[in-house]
Amino acid sequence: MNAYTALRAAEAEAAPPARTSAEDQDLLRAAGKIGRDLGKPDARIYFADLIACVILGYGALALTIVSTGLGLKLAFGAVSVLALYRALGFIHELSHLNPRAMPGFRRFWNAIVGVPVMIPSFMYEGVHNIHHARTRYGTAEDPEYLPLALMPPRMLALFLLTSALAPVGLLLRYGILAPLSLLSPKFRRVVVERYSSLVINPAFRRDPKERMAYKDWALWETLTSLYAMGWLALTATGVIHWSVLLTVMAVISGVAVLNQVRTLVAHLWENEGEPMTLTQQFLDSANVPPPNPLAAIWAPVGLRYHAMHHLLPAVPYHNLGKAHRALMQQFGTQGTYNRANYTGLWALCRDLVRSSFRKQAGK
């Protein structure tokens, strides 16, 4: 079984037995039809979008490094964060794309984004698809779920603050742990299990055998490791000034924090570990559709339609707007579909914090 087949098998797990209303069935049938009609990715859009993001992101990063005034550094740094954040967002698309439909795109993304940002695609592929497995969403086996709305408010703050340290962790993972793991099979297993996945569930452990499904895992891990070691060596020897590395790390940190903010509002985070029906999973997720103009910035590459994505995981990002309009036209504002639509980031953050305080007050 190759990697893509394994991912599709995870997503296709049978849903747990549950009673669903006629309206739920209508929504699922409508979504299924739309998914078949809009499931083909357009390679021209993917490559053009990614290339534009990379040119803008790295160009702004270079200007951030060479600028002398604080105002210019902050301005160029913000542009770099936003552009590279969008470029990194394509890792989500990679976890659902059939490589035969987009030849070369995965390798291209890894070469120009995955390695330079030290997040090769294998850190997300396979892991994210478990989050979409119908019997695992919201349970203890879900690598991307925690009942954040039921946790103390300080955990929400910690959730955001830890993301700021992402570049330190990535340099450690690829610049130090990766080469050291070659000396010990036991330590190598630990690195693969615990430090080779983008997760928010600290209890998640990746199956080391899964690495064999990715024929190019070793290639991208090696290149990323050489890249990280190069930064450390050139900075330590003074070839590159330490301020350059700190600037690059600050931009990656900004990308990680922005992504963590988006993650905070991707779901309602109210499930305590019980299996959920597909409709319940949909309603535990959030869309922030137009006319909100900012959602395309903080939830780029289709992530503003996160709830709908849980109904239609294989629909490419450039077709999600069409799918949303079709479902709204069919079901209107009174149906189940509209219950997953929210007005914006602030409203979702406010509701999450309120839920957290209410839960603690009720103890």
Is residue 140 in a domain? yes
Is residue 152 in a domain? no
How far is residue 213's CA from residue 202's CA, in Å, rounded to a whole number? 23
Phi-psi group of 315: left, alpha or beta (phi > 0 → left; psi -120 to 50 → alpha; rest → beta): beta
> Does residue 253 share a domain with residue 322?
no
> Does residue 117 share a domain with residue 230?
yes
Is residue 331 in a domain? yes
pLDDT for 1 equals 42
> Does residue 299 share a domain with residue 280?
yes
> Does residue 321 share a domain with residue 216?
no
> Does residue 274 share a domain with residue 214?
no
pLDDT for 13 equals 46
> Does residue 128 share a domain with residue 212?
yes
Is residue 37 in a domain? no
Domain closes at, from 258, 287, 303:
258
Is residue 27 in a domain? no
Is residue 34 in a domain? no
Counting the structural domains of the chain, the total is 2
> Does residue 87 share a domain with residue 186?
yes
pLDDT for 59 equals 98
Residue ranges making up the domain that contains 84 = 1-10+44-145+160-258
pLDDT for 98 equals 86
> Does residue 221 share a domain with residue 138?
yes
pLDDT for 334 equals 87
- Give the burial class of 121: count Cβ atoms within 10 A of its Cβ; 0-12 exposed, 13-18 middle, 19 or more buried: buried
Is residue 107 in a domain? yes
pLDDT for 14 equals 37
> Does residue 249 share a domain with residue 183?
yes
Domain closes at, from 258, 282, 306:
258
> Does residue 164 share a domain with residue 91?
yes
Residue 287, beta-bridge partner list: 305, 341
Is residue 35 in a domain? no
> Does residue 251 share a domain with residue 211?
yes
**SS in 3 state form for the chain?**
CCHHHHHHHHHCCCCCCCCCCHHHHHHHHHHHHHHHHCCCCCHHHHHHHHHHHHHHHHHHHHHHHHCCCHHHHHHHHHHHHHHHHHHHCHHHHHCCCCHHHCCCHHHHHHHHHHHHHCCCHHHCCCHHHHHHCCCCCCCCCCCCCCCHHHCCHHHHHHHHHHHCCHHHHHHHHHHHHHHHHCCCHHHHHHHHHHCCCCCCCCCCCCCHHHHHHCCCHHHHHHHHHHHHHHHHHHHHCCCCCHHHHHHHHHHHHHHHHHHHHHHHCCECCCCCCCCCCHHHHHHCECECCCCCCCHHHHCCCCCCEHHHHHHCCCCCHHHHHHHHHHHHHHHCCCCCHHHHECCCHHHHHHHHHHHHHHHHHCC
> Does residue 134 share a domain with residue 52?
yes
Domain closes at, from 258, 289, 308:
258
Q: Please, what sign has the CA dihedral across residues 168, 88, 291, 325?
A: negative
The series of mean pLDDT values per 10 residues for the chain, 363 residues long, is 47 40 75 93 97 98 96 98 98 91 94 98 93 91 95 94 96 97 95 94 87 79 98 97 97 98 96 90 95 95 96 95 96 92 96 91 71
